[in-house]
Amino acid sequence: MVLASLLATLWGYAALGRQAEFEGTPVAERQAPQLALSDDEGRSFALSSLRGRAVLVYFGYTDCPDVCPTTLAALHPVFDRLGTEAAHVQVLFVTLDPRHDTPALLRAYLAAFTPTPLGLTGTPAQIAEAARAWGIHWQYAGQGRFIDHTSVVTLVDPEGRIRVRYGYAQLTDPRAVAHDLLRVLRESAARKT
């Protein structure tokens, strides 16, 4: 019994050490919840269609006065650091305001950012379910004009597993975010060989 307990403790420390190698906030590695929504072109979308690529997922809304546009803008210098590997990373923007954020409005809004995220929308019930599954808490505020919401970018590795989350302060270090993206891309490439 003592030996089993000791082995379990050592395994736990080893797992924490692996997670600590990330610059962002490591999360319990698990399969990412499905995002079965519509994209900003009106086509059906499934997160599984991006297997083989690293994915950065962000929930927000187009009328957000500060946090959402600042977060999306913070990704530009990250992609500058990725070089050719940037082609293997996709940014997804899931609207929390599907009644307002039509596919056309999402597309126009997201075109202002580099890299241009793929916008995702759905029915209010689908969005609420997706937000819950991804740990995003949100509610209307300011007489319904604004949405208070969890503002994190979640890194999904090429095998579709959630690995790391970034709050805005962490996004101000593009080197750190690029480090994590390159790490999951290299891990995936090594598993294929």
Residue 168: is its pLDDT beyond 50? yes
Domains of the chain: 25-192 (3.40.30.10)
- Return the percentage of the chain with pLDDT > 90, whole number: 82
How many residues does this entry show for the chain? 193
Residue 5: how many other CB atoms lie within 10 Å: 9
**Arithmetic mean of pLDDT, 142-151:** 85
Residue 13: is its pLDDT beyond 70? no
Alpha carbon distance 65, 68 (integer Å): 7
What are 114's two structure tokens? 């580099």
Residue 12: is its pLDDT beyond 50? no
> What's the whole-model pTM score?
0.88
Residue 9: is its pLDDT beyond 70? no
Task: Single out the residue of 186, 172, 193, 176 nearest to residue 70, CA to CA.
Answer: 172
